[in-house]
Amino acid sequence: MRSIRSLLPVVALLGTTLGSPSVAADEAEPNRIIAIGSSVTEIVYALGQQDRLVGRDRTSTYPADVLDLPDVGYIRALSPEGVLSVKPDLIVALEGSGPPEAVEVLREAGVPFVSIAEDYSRDGVVEKIRAVGAALGVEDTAEKLAVQTGAKIDGAHSSALDASVDGAARVLFVLSAQDNRIMVGGADTQADSIIRLAGGVNAAGTVSGFKPMTPEAIATTAPDVILMMDRQGNHITANEDLFAMPAIKLTPAGQNKRLIRMQGAYLLGFGPRTAEAIADLSAELQRINGL
């Protein structure tokens, strides 16, 4: 099997024949844009620029209309040939898109590639909107959206803190629970940030990143509630299977069977819908904590 690097001459030719721009990116307005990363795609739609999209990555599933666009691959496993097949004149990609070899091939094929910084915070969302707006040349529209979104996040966070004043729920984010191997979201993750913004306490906050935890370690976190992404297919762990796991059975959340599931890109995307995600998670935490 040829390496991505070995495809450089072929893909460079493909980029030319498919109409990749031969002029600098600022000399013509890009109108064949690929969005990589769910939050980037949502921002493009929120800016009213969706008519310029010709492709999206596999994580971009909202709004529903985006599913009509060609899927150019998973955000971290992009195929240069697949990306170039839709004749893009600009790629706007979330930080971490790749692999790096694929990004290098795309750049050498002459397609402008803009990387959008990821920061799981209120300010991170605001700056992400501004960065996407700048890439698309709609800075004024982006500034209005950024200010509005920032204000909505501030309001949702303030309301969540007010609602949790009598006691914040301890929340354990479980990324996966396959074969009794439980991966949790610790500090410095989007899960940690959304839990705190919603007025909760990250029960796994003593670890950093997404890490596997032993049953004994999970028991010491003593979560009031488990938070998981609402997944499909082979990645889903049924409620009864989760609560049957020894590690979960030892916790207050397991004993009381308290579980919240939310759609992944909505919960962890940190895009234009983050304020709504904060409000929804906060409401669920207050409901469960009051039982």
- Banded model confidence at residue 26, pLDDT cuts 50, 70, 90: very low
Rounded to a whole number, what is the largest CA-CA distance in the chain? 64
CA separation for the pair 16, 2 (Å, rounded): 21
Does 4 score more than 70 pLDDT? no
Give per-residue pLDDT as tens, 209-255: 999 999 999 999 999 999 999 976 566 889 999 999 999 999 999 99
Q: Under DSSP, is residue 178 helix (H, G, I), strand (E, B) or coil?
A: strand
- Banded model confidence at residue 27, pLDDT cuts 50, 70, 90: low
Does 269 score more than 70 pLDDT? yes
The number of beta carbons lying within 10 Å of the beta carbon of residue 33 is 24
Quick one: 164-289 is in which CATH superfamily? Nitrogenase molybdenum iron protein domain (3.40.50.1980)
Quick one: 5-116 is in which CATH superfamily? Nitrogenase molybdenum iron protein domain (3.40.50.1980)
Does 81 score more than 80 pLDDT? yes
- Domains in the chain: boundaries: 5-116, 164-289
Asked if residues 211 and 182 have their Cβ atoms less than 8 Å apart, the reply is: no
Provide the token pair at 248. 């979960």
Q: What pLDDT score does 235 carry?
A: 66
Mean pLDDT of the chain: 90
Burial of 111 (0-12, 13-18, 19+ CB in 10 A): buried
